[in-house]
Structure 1
Amino acid sequence: MRLEINNITKRFKHKTAVHHFSMEMYSNECVGLIGPNGAGKSTLIQIIADILNADEGNILLDGKKISTKKNQIGYLPQYPNFFSWMTAYETLLFMGTLSGIAKNILQQDIPLILEKVGLANESQTKVGIFSGGMKQRLGIAQALLHKPTIIIMDEPVSALDPIGRREVLNLMKEIKKDTTILLSTHILGDAEEICERFVVIKNGQKIEDATKSDLLNRNQESAIYIAIPKENFKWLQKVDQFPYVKKIVSYEDGFKIFVNEPEVNASQLLQFGLDEKVCFTKFEIGIKESLEEIFLSLVVDV
């Protein structure tokens, strides 16, 4: 499976929601499309799902226009709508019929898909009394019913309480084992838990596309992080005079010492500290920013 998003632009009156956006996805990937509210995520997701038309650019699935391959796409909107008077089983039967799936296949597959999303015991329960998490799981069941090669999820857990969020996140972990996922969210923790790759969008434009390890390694600093008691602070004045020390800054409950060669200079600093009888409560080489810090540095205007 290869999804190609080529130079997509979408305008609404005087606002450009998506601007020359391009990316690719392949089989067995789980990609997080992350960005602040209003960044253009939902608009782009709806274009990929062939719900909205782009003003410029095109989207191809395995080399063909996405509009000709809709049967290979599963789509979960942020707020899936169901008829409250239908049961879970009736809902999937109705949705499957609309998708052109034969009734005998639906009768065989619906119990299996309800089991997969943890709703087997609720098949005859009316959707109107479902919790938010149960409705999202039913939405995932509906998106998976026709066995798509890729499932696209638009903010699937942002409106849920902690229990519903956990239920859906656990389900997504299971689904990604055999289905390609594109997840749109502004909650970095959700994307970090599920996805291996992150595409960051801001003001409709792609500003980053990298794996978690790439992002973290790229933001690893040439620094040594130490924490020492207050009575040892004068030792830092001596350290600041060393030719390999660039600067010293306060950080959390200690200090970052920026150096030329962290691996080499760390041994020198540690030995010097021990000679001076400094009590280290923390000593770390190569401080990495958290994904949240990296994300904020990318999307927040200073």
Structure 2
Amino acid sequence: MSLQIINLTKKFGEQTALNQVNIEIINNEIIGLLGPNGAGKSTLMKSVCGVIKVDEGEIIFNGKNISENEIEAKKNIGFLPENNPLYQNMYVKEYLNFVAEIHKIPKERIDEVIELVGITPEKSKKISQLSKGYKQRVGLAQAILHSPDLLILDEPTNGLDPNQIIEIRNVIREIGKEKTVILSTHIMREVEALCSRVILIHEGNIIQDSPIDEFKGKYDSLEEAFASYTH
């Protein structure tokens, strides 16, 4: 898996959401994408996924420009947005069958993923009947169903209880052993628990991209480092 983001710029009217962003990822690792609200994190993730068009620059995924190879890129990228848009009136397994048909993948894979994300007891329920924690797991299941090379997760544990957070983290950790994961979160404990590298974006600019120990540096905690860099 390789991802190169070269001089990526995106504007919304007069506002510059991303300003000549450059990132290179060549190894399987879990990367924490950090930044204050409005920093450009979601715009960056949606640009990589091909959800929004870039104004300037290039995104090269597995050696190909995603603007020219959108379908091929999307076959190898999994995305769980922050708002987790699920079809509430569908049953869990029915929904995952639907996703599997879109990706043209064997139905046997559905049961594998259901077990991996821990939704076996809920697989026959309607999505609308699930707790928020189980809905997050269903969203994670659709994102990994097609075994993507790159998994992008936007606030995957937002609103979950402590036990659910631990369980989702364990799933992400397992996935990160074989795939590249970009994890956007405001929870510094999550970054410390999962990530080997931190990319910090502020006002549309990358201001830190380093191993987690180097990012923390002289500060007592990641929270202190984050506050100092973005003050």
* TM-score in terms of structure 2 length: 0.93
Residue 18 (1) aligns with residue 18 (2): yes
Q: Distance in 2 between matches of 1:46 and 1:149?
A: 16
1:73 equivalent in structure 2: 77
Could you say which structure has the larger radius of gyration?
1
Cα displacement (A) at 1:79: 1.6
Q: Is the 8 A contact 1:92 1:142 kept in 2?
A: yes
Q: Is the 8 A contact 1:150 1:179 kept in 2?
A: yes
| 1:244 aligned partner | none
Deviation for aligned residue 1:148: 0.5
1:289 to 194, 210, 220: 220
Taking the aligned partners of 2:163 and 2:131, their CA distance within structure 1 comes to 10
- Residue 213 of structure 1 and its aligned partner are, at CA, apart by 2.0
Partner of 1:46: 46
The aligned residue for residue 118 of structure 2 is: 118
**Contact 1:196–1:211 at 8 Å: present in 2 too?**
yes
Higher relative contact order, chain-length normalized (CA < 8 Å, sep 6+): 2
Distance 1:37 1:166 in 2: 24
C-alpha distance in 1 between matches for 2:13 and 2:162: 37
Shift of residue 170, structure 1, vs aligned partner: 2.2
1:207 CA drift (Å): 0.2
In structure 2, give the amino acid aligned to 1:81: P
Conserved 8 A contact 1:149-1:180? yes
Q: Give the drift of 1:92.
A: 0.5
Number of residue pairs aligned between Structure 1 and Structure 2: 227
Alignment of 1:166-177 (within 5 A): 166-177=166-177
In structure 1, give the amino acid aligned to 2:188. L
Match of 1:196 in 2: 196
Aligned to 2:140: 140
Structure 1 segments unaligned to the other structure (5+ residues): 220-287
Which residues in structure 2 correspond to 1:121-270 (within 5 Å)? 121-216=121-216, 218-219=217-218
- Once the two structures are superposed, residues 176-202 of structure 1 have per-residue CA deviations (whole angstroms, 9 ceiling, x without a partner) of 122210111222222221111000000
1:106-128 deviation digits (Å, cap 9, x = unpaired): 2x111111000001222111111
The partner residue of 2:92 within 79, 85, 88 is: 88
Q: Which amino acid in 2 is paired with 1:293?
A: E
SS of the counterpart of 1:178?
Answer: coil
The percent of aligned pairs where both chains have the same amino acid is 39
Q: 1:165 Cα shift?
A: 2.4
TM-score (norm. length: structure 1): 0.72
Deviation at 1:63, TM superposition (A): 1.3
Q: Is the 8 A contact 1:37 1:186 kept in 2?
A: no
The correspondence for 1:98, drawn from 92, 102, 107, is 102
Give 3-state SS (helix, strand or coil) of 1:79's partner.
coil
Distance in 1, matches of 2:225 and 2:136, equals: 30
Please give the secondary structure, in 2, of the residue aligned with 1:213.
helix
Query: Once the two structures are superposed, what CA deviation does each residue of 1:108-163 show, in whole Å capped at 9, x if it has no partner?
Result: 11111100000122211111111111111111110111111110111112233334
- Asked whether the equivalents of residues 34 and 187 of structure 1 are also in contact (C-alpha less than 8 Å), the reply is no
- Code of the residue aligned with 2:79 in structure 1: it is Y
Q: Is the Cα–Cα contact under 8 Å of residues 10 and 56 in structure 2 kept in the other structure? A: yes
Answer whether contact 1:133 1:167 (CA < 8 A) is retained: no
The letter of the residue matching 2:185 is: T
Structure 2: which 5+ residue stretches go unaligned? none
| Correspondence 1:57 to 2:57 | yes
